[in-house]
Amino acid sequence: QFQPRVFSGVQPTGNLHLGNYLGAIRKFVALQDNNDCMYCVVDMHAITAQLVHDDLIGQTRSIAAAFIAAGIDAKKHIVFNQSTVPEHAELAWIFNCVARIGWMNRMTQFKDKAGKDREQASLGLYAYPSLMAADILVYRGTHVPVGDDQKQHLELARDIAMKFNLDFADKIRASGHGVDITVGDEPVHALFPMVEPLIDGPAPRVMSLRDGTKKMSKSDPSDLSRVNLLDDAETISKKIRKAKTDPDGLPSELAGLAGRPEADNLVGIFAALADRTKADVLAEFGGQQFSVFKPALVDLAVSVLSPVTEEMRRLMQDTSHIDAILKDGGERARARAAQTMAMVREVVGF
């Protein structure tokens, strides 16, 4: 068995929003009590969709500040910046040679992000999932807390790990670095673990506040579609009060949310923020109007987010503390990555 290890990353692009917080960062915090965790600001991913950024290092610091402000312990765990560990890129190259073009062609995020003129998308955007697999597997990470939008990329990471393990089976055995695991019922002598996505919870995919069929996203042109982590209480209140809903009130049971994506989304957000289940939230609010539920959601969102926001702002005033965390985290991460890469190089034959 591989040692359990949690890994996840967030891109330093645009403002963090409630989807990033509930889908990722809040889970990072919850996992840290019982796990070895590595949380990475993935700046090399940030240049795949847009090459030139005004202040990439400033954005990187602000994501790291959000991690710390949300409660991640950077001494006990590792918080770092992807580009400070070049082994990610090295393993990604090998994975580019493991992954098949047919696999990459199935990635829906590439299709979404590339838009209509796919020929003009960067090669990096196309290869993004291969770098993401390397981010995790260069630490032999086993568990990855992410939002539901990343599910397909994690399946690809498993496919890459499995193909590497099988293609190099004899060499892994000869190297003595392999670990016996079972995949399904098959015993495999593996260099890389099969990563497990951690996607569950009441809000695995937080939807836009303006359109219940689209995910809440940094790239949505409407700022009313998302609650940003740095929004003040008044702005949060305005956005939630204006959130799209249907004319019915809240149902008393889960089944009553079927076919009502906007209502389902707001109940899911409430449940995730309160660490409750949606059924439990409906038991309290069932039969009430949104005019009652929305103010309660505003209060809850403000009470959960404002301490994080304030601490984030404080940390950003003097970035030396964040820079020290990233430097120390980068060094510790690199030591781990170097161990894996020594094994990988031996197996590949470099």
Smaller CB separation from ligand ADP, 14 or 286: 14
Residue 124 CB coordination number (10 Å): 16
Site for ligand ADP in 285-304 (CB under 6 A): none
Residue 287 CB coordination number (10 Å): 10
**Number of residues binding to ligand ADP, judged by CB under 6 A:** 17
Q: Which residues are the active-site residues?
A: 113, 215, 218
Smaller CB separation from ligand ADP, 177 or 278: 278
287 Rama class: left (phi>0) / alpha (psi -120 to 50) / beta: left
Does an H or E element contain 71, and which?
A: none
For residue 101, give Cα distances in angstroms to 52, 98, 112: 27, 10, 18
Query: What binding mask, one character per residue, do residues 12-51 give for ligand ADP by CB under 6 A, x or -?
Result: -x-----xx--xx---------------------------
Nearest to 79 by CA among 38, 44, 45, 138: 38
218 in contact with ligand ADP (CB under 6 A):
yes
Is 261 annotated among the ligand-binding residues? no
53 in contact with ligand ADP (CB under 6 A):
no
330 in contact with ligand ADP (CB under 6 A):
no
Smaller CB separation from ligand ADP, 115 or 295: 115
150 in contact with ligand ADP (CB under 6 A):
yes
Tokens of 95: 């994975």
Least distance in angstroms from the C-beta of 146 to ligand ADP = 4
User: Do residues 248 and 260 lie in contact, with contact meaning Cβ atoms separated by under 8 Å?
Assistant: yes
129 in contact with ligand ADP (CB under 6 A):
no
Q: For residue 23, what is the DSSP state?
A: I
Is 141 annotated among the ligand-binding residues? no
- Which of 6, 11, 127, 132 contacts ligand ADP by CB under 6 A? 11
User: Do residues 305 and 236 lie in contact, with contact meaning Cβ atoms separated by under 8 Å?
Assistant: yes
The distance of Cα 223 from the centroid of its chain, to the nearest Å, equals: 21
- Which of 107, 206, 271, 333 contacts ligand ADP by CB under 6 A? 206
What whole-number distance in Å separates Cα of residue 33 and Cα of residue 50?
36
Is 208 annotated among the ligand-binding residues? no
As annotated, the binding site for L-tryptophan includes 135
In the complex, the residues that contact ligand ADP under the rule CB under 6 A are 10-11, 13, 19-20, 23-24, 146-147, 149-150, 205-206, 215-218
